[in-house]
Amino acid sequence: MPATLILPLLGLALAAALWAAATLLLANETPILANFAPAEAFRALSRLAIDPVMWEHIGVSLQRVAVGLAAALAIGVPAGVLTGVSRVFAQATTPLFQFLRMISPLSWMPIAVMVLGVGDAPVYFLLAFAAVWPILLNTAAGVAQLDRNWLMLARSLSATRAETLFRVVLPGIVAHILSGVRLAIGIIWIILVPAEMLGVSAGLGYFILDARDRLAYPELMAAILVIGALGFLLDYGARWLYQHWLHKG
């Protein structure tokens, strides 16, 4: 086994050992904490892995990620292109964007629920709102950094406007958009769980609160493991896409 695989596995095993030791120690004073031990969590996990209800929660959460990301792309890419192309637009909006970007998206939760009602809509809104900034800013940077020589090349080939846009400009900024997507996925995944703790009846965030209310603590820990693993896989996928596009694998 190569060292690139051994060391990460060793790190994970060490963390699990610390986790086991901590629950063991703490359970002496607070017996209920024994429910949070790794052995319990993994037993619950193997049970949940074949439970269709769990897969439904995962499906709902992933769908929310997809919708939020799609909305953020639909708004962020055109706005980013505009920012990259138009100095006036960029100067007018940069302070506003930097201001909005620094507000935790969850702060908008009460307003979002009041305006959009209880259900999926406010969750989508929060996710899109959180994810739009890295996409927008990366797209704008991509347009600004577009290699001028590529544009000259297009002109030397007498490219039409459409050929320049679709064969040079858009492919030329895909790498930037993808690195924005990777950041956006990270943010969405972090915002998703708390956003699902309010006013919805499915999803991993909901499942955590539900497990707590059912006193199903091993399941709660299992859900945390699932959240971590899925987030890791999403990030891995985004990184793979990025590198695949750049052919630097």
Partner 1 sequence: MSARPATTAPAPAAATGSSAVLDAAGLSFAYARSGAGFGEVSLAIGRREIVCLLGGSGCGKSTLLRVLAGLEAPAAGTVRFLGQPLARPHPRSALVFQQASLLPWLNVFDNAGFGLDFKHQPAADAAARKARVREALAAVGLAAHERAWPAELSGGQAQRVALARALAREPELLFADEPFSALDAITRAEMQALLVDVVRRWHAAVLLVTHDIDEAILVADRILLMAGRPGRIEREWTVGIPHPRDAHAEAVTALRLNILSALREASATGVPPSPTPDEEPST
**DSSP string covering 17-63, please?**
HHHHHHHHHHHHH-GGGGGGSHHHHHHHHHHHHT-HHHHHHHHHHHH
**Site mask for partner 1 (CB under 8 A), range 132-151, x = bound:** ---------------x-xx-
Q: Does 89 bind partner 1 (CB under 8 A)?
A: no
In the region spanning residues 166 to 205, those forming contacts with partner 1, defined by CB under 8 A, are: 167-168, 171-172, 174-175
Nearest one of 101, 100, 131 to 195, comparing CA atoms: 131
Type of residue numbered 40: E
In the region spanning residues 226 to 245, those forming contacts with partner 1, defined by CB under 8 A, are: 245
Please give the size of the binding site for partner 1, defined by CB under 8 A. 23
Nearer to partner 1, 28 or 158 (CB): 158
* Smallest separation, CB 182 to partner 1 (Å): 17
- H or E segment and range at residue 187: helix 170-195
Length of the chain, in residues? 249
Nearer to partner 1, 96 or 161 (CB): 161
Alpha-carbon separation of residue 226 from 48, 93, 185, 217 (angstroms): 10, 39, 16, 14
* Smallest separation, CB 37 to partner 1 (Å): 48
Neighbours of 92 (CB within 10 A): 11
**Site mask for partner 1 (CB under 8 A), range 153-172, x = bound:** xxxxxxxx--x---xx--xx
Nearer to partner 1, 116 or 174 (CB): 174
Residues that bind partner 1 (CB under 8 A): 147, 149-150, 152-160, 163, 167-168, 171-172, 174-175, 245-248
